[in-house]
Structure 1
């Protein structure tokens, strides 16, 4: 910023908000493009949410859905919107935001677009432990707590196997894929050794769906995501500097090891809480940050835009799963895998073409 007379002028591309409190002047800079991207994604999410409430086995006009949302519509429409569709829409928004926020944090930590919690095995670790609690393998801990334990275990194993390379390079990615494969096999083994009823109860956790939300998990996710967004915003400057080499970040005042641990734990917790609600919908952690980065500038890490993009992807994917082959419902994890698979191949192919 620079001063023009008594007035402080914001740099190009920023808005400055200033205020005084107890005689002390305060100000904050808002990046114009980030605000516009966030606003655009929010509007798109609201439109997708309205479509989500309107479409289904029983079609509602958008005006009917809005009236039902506020309890002013017909009794059947109000019940359908408030009791059936709205809770699932809320779950889609929260889980999508949590997966995408965890994805952008992990990608920034590893300086690699492929290093999402789903690809490096954290999702599968959380799923395996959650399934163990559901099928009653001598464990009585609630699924959210078990998912957190599984996500932490997978993260520790991945970092241990990638010792010597840290979170950089493809050794870290390969180690995570291996850990994820092992936990995926454990999940299948657990399901194969129990009665069919117990396996059916745990099956949604293996593919990713919003149909079987664990009681209490939504409340934990709401609190965890709120605190996670606040923590990510507090770490925004550090995240921007962690994209550079460790020596550069240290020279700019960042305690690299401490910040890396904080970012890793935040990503693990967000992933575990999202898995506890929806199961392993890993590709949202890849697609959401990619959309946010494509729309945002390269000046910082698009934390809020990634969360909004992840929520939008999750809502649209679950809406497509509910309506495309109705009355057959496709789990949201399968829809995002169909979308994310080609996206992942495109990233890999583009990286190969850009390499010398």
Structure 2
């Protein structure tokens, strides 16, 4: 009876997880469709379909394919990258607060990108490489300061400290450059999808195709690490190698996403946790977290464009406003739980 009951519970969780992933995918598609209809030149859904299939007018095709579609696609792929990265880091640290933006990794990516932009005059490739390297350096600094510990509040405090130092360095870099570069860098630092095109979409999309399968494979081993290092070793997991490999995957995702649109706050923090609530999963849930991240960033961008139209707020500003409230709630829950 116990075996049958356990199997039934497992089957229910599996069905709920699959259903949750389908719901999140559908939500992302619906949000994308809505985003393509909204703007200074409003369109109906049938007009959007016509523009996508080439049967609409030239003006409609230009608005949908030339202006709105790249922005929507970029929001989806960047949000997915941040969601997967958040799931990886939270599972790796076994801590819901282990988000790249709280731990200074996102700010480190911004620092690396600014170094490439301000000091080296880097183009898209140089900016991406700088962002990935900056994320990795920030992660190594946090790990060194923790001394191997991953306790809740110690992790957060170390991350806040590293984040503050890197933010000050970013301000210094902006002050040391010319006015035109400083204005461009400052607008990039708020995290915006304005002025982005298919080049950024392709870059982040390729990164997702390469890195998400690695994250999924690594998340299975992270599930075993959740039972303890000794148990994981007994089941054949190379603990040290797994942690390094998963860390590098998360670092690359954060670096590429940040290089494309600038630092976007709280998507990586909230997406994995909200995805677990939808799917009922107990593990990393990387695919669900990616879909939730895509939906969150696209929703933030749509709200930023339409909430006070014609004034537009950057997507990073909207996610920071909502994410700040979520962080307060999360910290209160952690405090009540005595972590």
TM above 0.5, yes or no, is yes
Q: Which among 120, 123, 128 is matched to residue 144 of structure 1? A: 128
Post-superposition Cα deviations, 1:275-310, rounded to whole Å, max 9, x if no partner, equal 011111131001211210111224432111100000
Aligned-residue offset at 1:244: 2.8
RMSD of the alignment, in Å?
Answer: 2.2
- The answer to whether the 8 A contact 2:21-2:279 is kept is no
Post-superposition Cα deviations, 1:318-347, rounded to whole Å, max 9, x if no partner, equal 011111111211011110000100101101
Q: Please name the residue that 2:48 is paired with.
A: 65
CA distance in 1, matches of 2:301, 2:256: 18
- The answer to whether the 8 A contact 1:126-1:150 is kept is yes
CA distance in 2, matches of 1:205, 1:340: 19
**DSSP 3-state at the match of 1:253:** coil
- The answer to whether the 8 A contact 1:144-1:276 is kept is yes
Larger helix proportion, structure 1 or 2? 2
CA distance in 1, matches of 2:242, 2:291: 24
Q: Which runs of 5+ in 2 are unaligned?
A: 1-5
Q: TM-score, normalised by structure 2?
A: 0.92
**DSSP 3-state at the match of 1:12:** helix
Q: Please name the residue that 2:73 is paired with.
A: 90
Larger strand proportion, structure 1 or 2? 1
Post-superposition Cα deviations, 1:232-290, rounded to whole Å, max 9, x if no partner, equal 22223212122232223223322111111111111000000000111111310012112
* Equivalent pairs, count: 333
Moved more, 55-64 or 264-273: 55-64
Aligned-residue offset at 1:148: 0.8
Question: For the pair shown, which has the larger CA radius of gyration, 1 or 2?
Answer: 1
Q: Please name the residue that 1:265 is paired with.
A: 248
* 1:282/1:170 CA distance change after superposition, 3 Å: same
Q: Does 1:154 align with 2:138?
A: yes
Q: Please name the residue that 1:26 is paired with.
A: none
* 1:212/1:122 CA distance change after superposition, 3 Å: farther
Q: Please name the residue that 2:160 is paired with.
A: 177
Q: Does 1:121 align with 2:117?
A: no
- The answer to whether the 8 A contact 1:217-1:273 is kept is no
Aligned-residue offset at 1:138: 4.1
CA distance in 2, matches of 1:299, 1:189: 42
Q: TM-score, normalised by structure 1?
A: 0.88
**DSSP 3-state at the match of 2:56:** coil
Aligned pairs for 1:1-356 within 5 A:
11-12=7-8, 31-135=14-118, 137-138=119-120, 140=122, 142-165=126-149, 167-213=150-196, 216-355=199-338
Moved more, 239-248 or 299-308: 239-248
